[in-house]
Amino acid sequence: MRLILLITIVFISASSCAQDLFEGESNKDSLKKTEVSPIIAQSPNGKRVIINNNIPEGGVDLVTPIVSILSIIIGFVLNKWYDNYIDDKRIENEGNLWVENLIQLREPLERQIKILEEFIPLNDENTFEFQDLQFVVALECDEFKALDGRTLVPFLKQKVKGTEQKEAIILAGQIKSIIKIIESNSIGVKEVYSSLKISINPFMSEFQKSFNDFRLSVGKYLDFAFNTYTTGTAQHVAAENIKKLMLSEIEPYLDNGKYNLFEFEKTFIDPFFKNAHVDRSNPTMAEAIVFLNHCSTNIKAIKMEKRYFRIKLEKRLKIYKSNLDVLDGVLNNRIFPIK
């Protein structure tokens, strides 16, 4: 559109100049000289000099340069007006997108808060299971990344009176800040969740290795105990109890490996130690006790990691709730242009 305006202005200017030039050529031969009385001047050597003062009848042509200058000025003004018009439209369009995206951000934020509130109690340090955590993609704020942040302040200023310009600037800062915090917190929640499995994996591997060694040692000890101790002796009774414990608490899970480690201490480790102390001086039993202690240590480490996990998620949940309060404050601000 701006190009069309420029071409039109240049065409008008060129047409005017061409017309003036044509008329000048047509009247060139018909110009008459105005006869005036000659001027007689005295030269330095005393001679008289006669000077003719013939001026063309047409006079000086001022129309053409004036038209050209006016054309340039009008073109500049129109260009400036068009640029301002385009900027205003862009600011208005992007400003409306800011408003729409902010309004639409509230529901995903509430949904993520609810997901975390339900997830945390089911995945704390008292629960061994690892459930999948659902992430609300909208909280990554990708829609805002496509918007020009420089348009927000001018847009809000358009919606308020002169005395509220400062308040519009403050509101724009709050909007940009809350979006960055929500985006950052969304990334943080993902990092907390992914880091849990990373931090637990070494302890799980150590547990599995120690537990396999423990089973081998217990198997050797039971063979020794049943072949050595007389039925009814304390060592023989303890060996029978350990065998029953292995059959009820270990054997059913050997194929699938689905031990509930946080229950494992109560259901197996503690009862085993009560029976193992009867013959703890036996080298094979002493070895089994060492391996099982390693298992217990790794279980405690896993519990500690899950405790840290819960604390970190609770902090992220608290940030989300604070974000929701701030967002509500923005949406309910008296100068926020809700349609």
DSSP H helices in the chain: 2-26, 63-122, 142-145, 152-158, 165-228, 234-249, 261-264, 270-276, 283-331
pLDDT of residue 131: 85
Tell the residue number behind the tokens 């992914």, with chain if given.
194
Helix (H, G, I), strand (E, B) or coil at 250: coil
The verdict on residue 319 lying in a domain is yes
Residue 13 clears pLDDT 70, i.e. is over it: no
Q: Kindly state the average pLDDT of the residues 99-127.
A: 92
Q: Which of 80-94, 167-181, 250-264 has the lowest mean pLDDT?
A: 80-94
> Domain for residue 2, yes or no?
no
Per-residue confidence (pLDDT) for residue 151, from 0 to 100: 83
Tokens 């960055």 sit at which residue? 180
User: Count of CB atoms within 10 A of residue 99's CB?
Assistant: 20
- Residue 310, pLDDT > 90, answer yes
pLDDT, one tens digit per residue, over 237-285 is 999 999 999 999 988 887 776 778 888 889 999 999 999 999 999 999 9
Domain that holds residue 107: 95-339
Q: Which of 43, 14, 322 is nearest to 330 (CA)?
A: 322
**Residue 17 within a domain:** no
| Mean pLDDT to the nearest integer, 48-53 | 50
Q: Residue 294 pLDDT more than 50?
A: yes
Total of domains in the chain:
1
Answer yes or no: are the C-beta atoms of 150 and 108 closer than 8 Å: no
pTM (two decimals):
0.70
Q: Contact, 242 vs 222, CB < 8 A?
A: yes
196: nearest Cα among 303, 281, 116: 303
Does 304 score more than 90 pLDDT? yes
Continuous H helices in 123-164 = 142-145, 152-158
Mean pLDDT of the 187-197 span: 92
Stretch among 5-14, 53-62, 64-73 having the lowest mean pLDDT = 5-14
Identify whether 31 is part of a domain: no
DSSP state of 161: -
Specify if 286 maps to a domain.
Answer: yes
Confidence of residue 92 (pLDDT cuts 50, 70, 90): confident
Q: Is residue 7 part of a domain?
A: no
Burial of 211 (0-12, 13-18, 19+ CB in 10 A): buried
On the question of pLDDT at 215 being above 70, the answer is: yes
Residue type, 8: T
Q: Is residue 53 part of a domain?
A: no
The arithmetic mean of pLDDT across residues 3-32, rounded, is: 46
The answer to whether position 131 is within a domain reads yes
pLDDT of residue 77: 66
- DSSP SS3 for 261: helix
Indicate the SS3 state at residue 123.
coil
The amino acid occupying position 111 is: R
Q: Mean per-residue pLDDT for 118-133?
A: 87
State percent of the chain over pLDDT 90: 47
Residue with tokens 């989300």: 320
